[in-house]
Amino acid sequence: MPANLPPQYFEAERRFREAKTDEEKLGALKQMLAIMPKHKGTDKLQADLRRRISKLKKAAEQRKKQKKGFSIVIEKEGAGQVVLIGYPNVGKSRIIKSLTNATPEVAPYPFTTRQPAAAMMPFDHIQIQLVDSSPITSDYLDFWMIGIIRNSDAVILVADLSSDNPVKQVDGVLKNLLESKINLTREEKETDPRDGIAHKKTMIVGNKAEQDRSGEKFGILKKLYGKAFPIICVSAENDDNMDSLKKEIYKLLGIMRVYTKEPGENPDFDDPVILKIGGTVKEAALEIHKDFAYNLKYARVWGHAKFDGQKVEKDHILQDEDVVEFHI
Ligand SMILES: Nc1nc2c(ncn2[C@@H]2O[C@H](COP(=O)(O)OP(=O)(O)OP(=O)(O)O)[C@@H](O)[C@H]2O)c(=O)[nH]1
Ligand SMILES: [Mg+2]
């Protein structure tokens, strides 16, 4: 018996052929099944469609399970958490080895680091937490990396200036992460619940700069990404520019250090209060104790105020390395 399929069926079949995602394919197959007249002549076709639908559904469920997987949470410590990401073998672990006293495995072959690992980088009276991670390429991303990046305060995207194409390394990571709803950007922005995209403050580091003698590769990277991101070149191996890298990491976090002092005593430079840039006297007091902030009458500020020991109100905006004396 001929199948006698209506034109809408062929329309749905065309949509199936042109579908880019499994979800679209599934939708088109379901339509084909719904449109198809149900009689003996279409029995085989119906069975075939049902089989294809069930296969796609199973694949989608499998993907969901994999995405859920287990997640890894790295407890935050210090003034901020920054995760280093990038293609395999670019020197992420080597950079962390230079900046902290951790001893991650560094090796001349790709996919050395398979688990995230945190280490503390001392920087001018504070500690910043760096997280080493497993490699990302244009088509490889360990699913737990998504949580690590989303949870971090900032990202360092490392590229290898001794490789043929560091631009491809940056581009591949940006694209892959965007597919997982992570947008690496210069400016911090809240996640819009309508699209669920996390915007992460990012800087680019071109490593192995000593292999890029003429600076040609870094020049190309800078030309392409220098407007969209802070960008710096270093050689972790030769310890070139690593102090500037530390400063840039601090800047990337958008934080400031506020030292506190008791009346008549010297400031405590060892344990500053960490605030977001633009933080006020009241916010600094809140970091110490809720009641303290509530009872605060005024403060005196040394540093960027008009004059040393200037009396200021609770809403006075502080600056990096100001010294504050609270009065309750
Ligand atoms: N010439 C040169 N080699 C470097 C530099 N930094 C790292 N390397 C070398 O590059 C190789 C890879 O370094 P790793 O730190 O293991 O790279 P990774 O990005 O952590 O690699 P995965 O863990 O596989 O993602 C090692 O052989 C390092 O010694 C550098 O500044 N210059
Ligand atoms: Mg590594």
At 125-174, the pLDDT tens digits run: 999 999 999 999 998 999 999 999 999 999 999 999 999 999 999 999 99
Is residue 76 in a domain? no
Q: What pLDDT was estimated at residue 66? A: 60
Burial tier of 57 (Cβ tally within 10 Å: 0-12, 13-18, 19+): middle
CATH code of the domain in which 222 resides: 3.40.50.300
| Position 51 confidence tier, pLDDT thresholds 50, 70, 90 | very high
Indicate if the pLDDT at residue 68 is higher than 70.
no
Is residue 238 in a domain? yes
DSSP string, 128-186: EEEEE-----SS---THHHHHHHHSSEEEEEEETTSS-HHHHHHHHHHHHHHTTEEEES
At 102-126, the pLDDT tens digits run: 999 999 989 999 999 999 999 999 9
Higher pLDDT, 100 or 2: 100
Q: Relative to the alpha carbon of 158, which ligand is closest?
A: 1
Is residue 308 in a domain? yes
Is residue 74 in a domain? no
Q: What value does the mean pLDDT of the chain take? A: 93
Structure tokens at 55: 């296969």
Q: Relative to the alpha carbon of 163, which ligand is closest?
A: 1
155 and 243 within one domain: yes
Residues 191, 51: Cα–Cα separation, whole Å: 39
Higher pLDDT, 193 or 227: 227
Atom 7 (ligand 1): residue with closest C-alpha?
Answer: 91
The amino acid at residue 201 is K
Report how far ligand 1's centroid is from the alpha carbon of 90 (Å). Answer: 5
Sign of CA dihedral 282, 285, 290, 294: negative
Please say whether the beta carbons of 237 and 212 come within 8 A: no
Ligand 1 probe mutation, 87, 94, 235, most atoms within 8 A of CB: 94
Count of domains observed in the chain: 3
222 and 182 within one domain: yes
Q: What pLDDT was estimated at residue 240? A: 98
Ligand 1 probe mutation, 87, 100, 106, 111, most atoms within 8 A of CB: 106
Q: Which of 137, 132, 95 is nearest to 246 (CA)?
A: 95
Atom 16 (ligand 1): residue with closest C-alpha?
Answer: 106
Indicate if the pLDDT at residue 285 is higher than 80.
yes
Is residue 2 in a domain? no
Report how far ligand 2's centroid is from the alpha carbon of 89 (Å). Answer: 7
Report how far ligand 1's centroid is from the alpha carbon of 76 (Å). Answer: 26
Ligand 1 probe mutation, 83, 89, 132, 245, most atoms within 8 A of CB: 89
Is residue 305 in a domain? yes
Cβ neighbours around 167 below 10 Å, total: 16
Nearest atom in ligand 1 to 134's CA: 25
The structure's pTM equals: 0.80
Q: What pLDDT was estimated at residue 293? A: 85
> The domain containing residue 304 runs over which residues?
256-327
Q: Which of 126, 114, 140 is nearest to 272 (CA)?
A: 126
Q: What pLDDT was estimated at residue 69? A: 63
**For the residues 212-218, what does the mean pLDDT come to?**
96
